[in-house]
Amino acid sequence: MNLFGLIFISGMDQRLCMSDDSKYLRLGVDSRKKGVELFKRLIPNILPGAFTPVCRDDERMDRGLILHLDGAGSKPIISYLCYRELGGSSWFEGLSQDVLAMNINDVIAVAAQPILFADYIAINPFRIPKDEVIAELAKGFKKTLELLSNYQKDFKITPTFAGGETADLPDQVRTLDVVGALFGILDIEKSPKLNRIRAGDLIIGLRSDGRAVYENRENSGIMCNGISLARHVLLKREYYQRYPEIGEPEIAEKYSGRFTLDSFMDELDMSLAEALLSPTRIYAPIIAEILMKNPEEIKAMCHNTGGGLAKIKRIGRGVRYVKDNLPEPSPIFGLIQREGKISWREMYETFNMGIGFEIIVEKDYEDEIIQIAEKYKIMALVIGKIDSVGNPANEVIIKSRHGIFIY
């Protein structure tokens, strides 16, 4: 029986695939970001269907400009809890890499080069010592940018740090928020070939867990998305009772987990705190080398952030993406699913599930790209294909041992 026969074998199966009882939404987070289309209409995007909007440079018609903004999500709450419960301010340092990664990965996903980076730190100084936090974040930015500079080649991957803003907002911010803005430039001729996406093209996935050659420890792979869902289903209620600033009173299901931050998780081979604060992987060294060697073969790229493995739905026009060769999700995601009793459909739409970055290429170019990734000790594999192009709307189909899901 073919894939679509399995999907549509009965009306009941279809309803099960398409049902939407989102635990994440009940926590106040909409991973689909409904409403942002109102802003998209205002953007003069010269690469419609690309992962990140690109504006034309009026002074150079062959160049595109990007101003990208992203942050560490609710990861700072985990850092804050570790600071309060386990002591020391070093728990804040990794947030710098998270913010840089969330911006650089998104910019390089359209083959653009990051030029200038600025940070924005909003803090409640009554709860967190501002000087200590800023010192740790500055250390983190310096360390991450120096690391990237070690892999700097002809394709620029290391932005210049251009300063930023620190705001004391005790009446608005309960703990801490860390965000960054990244300016990038794109040689339009070298942009991904979105108009060449065809049926039969392959989707290559790069793992988000493990340890790359440029990382100093094992990574759980969680990156920065789904952290609110993870902390609420894994961490004990006692944390909220001791620190009510980490939760919203209106949320009924907050902090319903069984674990403490220092719980050592055998299946993860690290503590829960280490797993939740594993810094977001920066894929720039790998993608830069791929772009230098195979610029014409890259049709599209996707950084699997909010939206998880359904994120690729935003790329291209009328494309049906079929992911039918996904590896088993990283252990951290199995733990979250099991403890939170979260549907697998929601898991695949919320978390990266172990695949942090995706590249669409024509068949026969996959081996070279996989070899480049593996040179950096990052596992890569073909996870799916383009089934068809020209449909009314983009569609993502995930076929896994946990079910078949349509987005």
The pTM of this model reads 0.92
Over residues 257-313, the pLDDT tens digits come to 999 999 999 999 999 999 999 999 999 999 999 999 978 889 999 999 989 999 999
Q: What is the average per-residue pLDDT within 392-398? A: 97
Over residues 43-59, the pLDDT tens digits come to 789 999 999 999 999 99
Q: What is the average per-residue pLDDT within 311-331? A: 97
Query: Given this model, what pLDDT does residue 294 score?
Result: 79
Between 16-25, 209-218, 353-362, the lowest mean confidence (pLDDT) is in 16-25
Which segments of 235-304 does DSSP mark as H helices, in order? Answer: 237-242, 272-276, 284-293
Higher confidence at residue 363 or residue 39? Answer: 363
- State CA 285 to chain mean position distance: 17
The pairing of beta strand 395-400 with beta strand 319-323: parallel
Does position 365 have pLDDT exceeding 90, yes or no? yes
Does position 6 have pLDDT exceeding 60, yes or no? no
Query: Given this model, what pLDDT does residue 31 score?
Result: 59
Helix, strand, or coil (residue 249): coil
Query: Given this model, what pLDDT does residue 17 score?
Result: 44
Helix axes 95-108, 284-293, angle to 10 degrees: 20
Over residues 265-281, the pLDDT tens digits come to 999 999 999 999 999 99
Does position 5 have pLDDT exceeding 50, yes or no? no
Query: Given this model, what pLDDT does residue 33 score?
Result: 63
Query: Given this model, what pLDDT does residue 119 score?
Result: 98
At residue 16 the predicted structure's pLDDT band, cuts being 50, 70 and 90, is: very low
Return contacts of 248-253, CB within 8 angstroms, 24+ apart: 248/28, 250/28, 251/26, 251/27, 251/28, 252/26, 253/23, 253/26, 253/27
Four-residue CA torsion sign, 333, 337, 340, 342: positive
Of the chain, the percentage scoring pLDDT greater than 90 comes to 87
Query: Given this model, what pLDDT does residue 44 score?
Result: 80
Mean pLDDT of the chain: 92
Query: Given this model, what pLDDT does residue 10 score?
Result: 32
Query: Given this model, what pLDDT does residue 15 score?
Result: 32
CA 373-146-206 angle, 5° bins = 20
Domains and CATH numbers, the chain: 3-225+276-406 (3.90.650.10), 233-275 (no CATH)
At residue 35 the predicted structure's pLDDT band, cuts being 50, 70 and 90, is: low
Residues 6+ apart with CB under 8 A from 29: 228, 229
Q: Whole-angstrom Cα distance, residue 329 to residue 226?
A: 14
For 210: left if phi > 0, alpha if psi spans -120 to 50, otherwise beta; the answer is: left
The answer to whether 165 and 320 have CB atoms below 8 angstroms apart is no
| CB-count exposure of residue 266 (10 Å: 0-12, 13-18, 19+) | exposed
Q: What is the average per-residue pLDDT within 217-234? A: 96
Structural tokens at position 319 = 């494309």
Q: What is the average per-residue pLDDT within 9-32? A: 54
At residue 42 the predicted structure's pLDDT band, cuts being 50, 70 and 90, is: confident
Alpha carbon separation from 194 to 57, 298, 317 (Å, rounded): 20, 9, 9
Structural tokens at position 407 = 């987005």
- State CA 385 to chain mean position distance: 21
Over residues 125-134, the pLDDT tens digits come to 999 999 999 9
Query: Given this model, what pLDDT does residue 138 score?
Result: 98
